[in-house]
């Protein structure tokens, strides 16, 4: 149990670090909270809530992976390196694609509630 608590504390420290220093993550978190609000404002089904929650957690998780990779690359190669830039662009593209996917899911789920057209 002691090891679990230590691991849990390390994980919460990582979340705190992210919330304090990562602007993009904070923006994504605010957007996620807005979506959660819409999930309970509209009469969404349990399935819709599960799909939206999965999309939200996927984007937030990928953004944290992006942060880790960027920080690791900055630590290993502090100066400008073309290959490092390409790797950072690629991981950012992954987050962007996941964000677009989440937006499409949001439109599919919320559009009928917003427009009244099923």
CATH code of residue 41: 1.10.287.3610
- Whole-model pTM: value is 0.91
Q: What is the token pair recorded at 6?
A: 């230590």
Domain boundaries, position 37: 31-115
Residue 98 placed within a domain: yes
49 contacts: CB under 8 Å, gap ≥ 6: 39
Average pLDDT over residues 32-47: 98
Is the pLDDT at 117 greater than 90, yes or no?
A: no
Residue 16 domain-assigned (yes or no): no
Residue 78 within any structural domain of the chain: yes
How far is residue 14 from each of residues 19, 61, 67, 89, 95, measured CA to CA in Å? 9, 12, 11, 23, 19
> Within a domain: residue 15?
no
* Within a domain: 86: yes
- Confidence check: pLDDT of 118 > 80: no
Which stretches of 1-118 are DSSP H helices?
A: 2-21, 23-41, 46-76, 82-115
Residue 26 has pLDDT above 90, yes or no: yes
Q: Is residue 17 part of a domain?
A: no
Number of domains composing the chain: 1
pLDDT digit string, tens, across residues 70-115: 999 999 999 889 999 999 999 999 999 999 999 999 999 999 999 9
| Two tokens, residue 103 | 């937006």
**Residue 91 and residue 66 in contact, taking contact as beta carbons nearer than 8 Å:** yes
pLDDT of residue 115: 95
């Amino acid at each position: 149990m002691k090891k679990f608590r230590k691991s849990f504390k390390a994980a919460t420290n990582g979340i705190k670090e992210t919330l304090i220093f990562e602007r993009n993550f904070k923006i994504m978190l605010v957007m996620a909270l807005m979506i959660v609000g819409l999930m309970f404002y509209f009469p969404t089904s349990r399935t819709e809530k599960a799909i939206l929650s999965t999309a939200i957690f996927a984007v937030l998780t990928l953004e944290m992976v992006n942060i880790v990779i960027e920080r690791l690359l900055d630590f290993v190669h502090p100066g400008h390196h073309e290959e490092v830039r390409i790797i950072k662009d690629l991981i950012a593209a992954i987050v962007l694609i996941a964000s677009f996917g989440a937006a499409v899911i949001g439109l599919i789920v919320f559009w009928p509630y917003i427009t009244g057209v099923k």
